[in-house]
Each structure stands twice: as C-alpha cells, then as structure tokens.
Amino acid sequence: MSAIPLPSPAALFSDYSERLTATLKAFDWAPVEQLAHDLMDCWHTGRQVFLAGNGGSGGNANHLANDFLYPLSKTPGSGLRVHSLSANPAILTCLANDEGYDRVFSMQLAVQAREGDVLIVLSGSGNSPNILKALEEARLIGMTSYALLGFSGGKAKALTDVPIHFHVDDMQIAEDAQMIVGHMLLQWLHAQRDQVNALKNCAADLRQTWRRMKNI
C-alpha cells in the first residue's frame, strides 16, 4: 500500500509568518509602552506583579513570571516581585474543587494582592470566566490591570484598565503575540538594570546607615 502524499508544509509556514508579521506591523504599541513604564516603577518601588492565563496562555504567564524574576536583571535581590496565578497546581485544584474554576485567580488575588499592584492577564478570547473575575477583583482591590487579548478582545477588553489587543482571529498567533510583548518588555527592562540596581544599592546603603545610627 503506497503512502498518501502529504502537501508540503512550506506554504502554511510562509502564510503563518506573513500573518504574524502583518499583525505586529499594524499594532499600536502605546499600551505596551505604558506597561513598560509601569513595570519599571514596580521594579523601583517593590509593587507586586501578577500574571494569569489558561492553557497556552497560562504557560505563557508562567514563562514570563520566570523572565521578570531572574533574566530581567540576573542580579541577586534585583527583579520584579512577580507571581503567576497559573503556576501552583495544588492551589488551582483546591480552589477549582471548592470554589469553582471561575474563581481560581480572583481568590488568589484577594489574599496576595494589594492596592497599587499590577495584574497582567493573558487570554486569546478575552471571555474566560476566571479571567473576567480576576479583572473584577483587581478593580475592587485597586490594582492596575492590563489584558493581552486576541480575536475581538471579548468582555475583558472593557473590564481591564489597559487593553493590549491584537485583533487577529488565530489563537496561535494571539499566543505568539503574548510572548513577543513579554520578551520586548523583558529586553527593555533588562537594558535599564544598571540604573535600577544602582538606585537599589544606594537605598540599601541608606537603610544600613540608619540601622547603625539607631544602635549608637
């Protein structure tokens, strides 16, 4: 029995790369620039950053939490105070079982987040119930929320403080855009690390001097 001939994947690969490129070229980067400056302020002040997503977006949330914790600076004690709400399976399964999957992110925020912290949600559709409840909880707490969205943006587009919306009807390209934005932010923040670390070292020296003066 002869094998069924398969079409070459090259045409799909070319089309995919063209659609991704077109999506990025058409995008208004102003909301990403706003997020960059907000994350820089979090780095200076110690405000916390929370990320959340489901499925592939949840994997991206975990990936970016790692990037913002260590690769951001690669200096002990210097990085964002960042948490992925998608990372802990014990917490996720406990809350899903006891409270419902739609509350697995919002209930973590209710315990851990404080006014002034930042929430970044990642969602292709923008309609996942647990993402919407996380945005509602963030507003109640007084957080600033950002939403990386695809397709129409869904209900999350109106709920978030700052939508970062790639209007593309393709889940994989929407998820690619999440990581591209995250890596752009990482590289810009990484380039500022010497300035941030110098200020942090100065602040640490002042705290040590103050403690010594108190003990005299």
- Residue predicted with more confidence, 207 or 7: 7
| Interval 24-47: pLDDT, tens | 999 999 999 999 999 999 999 999
pLDDT in tens, 184-209: 999 999 999 998 887 665 555 545 66
Q: Where do we find the tokens 């992110």?
A: 105
Closest by Cα among 45, 75, 36, 76 to 193: 75
Q: Return the pLDDT at 211.
A: 66
> What pLDDT score was predicted for residue 209?
60
- Which residues are registered as beta bridge partners of 75? 78
Q: How many CB atoms lie within 10 A of CB 75?
A: 14
Query: Residue 2 has what DSSP assignment?
Result: P
Q: Which two tokens stand for residue 53?
A: 């997503």
**Separation in Å, CA 144 to CA 27, 47, 124, 152, 155:** 22, 11, 20, 22, 17
Residue 213: predicted pLDDT: 66
pLDDT at 87: 98
Higher pLDDT among residues 212 and 131, named by residue: 131
Give the mean model confidence (pLDDT) for residues 160-171.
98
* Helix 55-69 × helix 171-191 angle, to 10°: 10
What is the DSSP secondary-structure string of 96-120? HHHT-GGGTTHHHHHHH--TT-EEE
Tell me what the mean pLDDT of segment 17-29 comes to: 98
Q: Write out pLDDT tens, residues 86-136.
A: 999 999 999 999 999 999 999 999 999 999 999 999 999 999 999 999 999
* Orientation angle between helical segments 193-215 and 30-45, nearest 10 degrees: 20
Look at residue 169 in the predicted model and tell me its pLDDT.
97
Q: What is the DSSP letter of 88?
A: -
Provide CB contacts within 8 A for 56, sequence distance 6+: 124, 171, 175
Q: Mean pLDDT over residues 1-11, rounded?
A: 85
Report the candidate in 178, 6, 185, 201 with the shortest Cα–Cα distance to residue 86. 178
- Listed in order, strand segments (DSSP E) in the chain are 48-53, 81-84, 118-123, 144-149, 162-165
pLDDT at 215: 77
Per-residue pLDDT tens digits for 59-81: 999 999 999 999 999 999 899 99
Instruction: Give 163's strand partners.
Output: 147
Query: Residue 187 has which token pair?
Result: 């590289």
Is residue 152 pLDDT above 90, yes or no? yes
Average pLDDT over residues 135-141: 98
Q: What is the rounded CA–CA span in Å between residue 174 and residue 100?
A: 27
**Given pLDDT bands bounded at 50, 70 and 90, which one contains residue 3?**
confident
Q: Which residues contact 212 (CB under 8 A, 6 or more apart)?
A: none
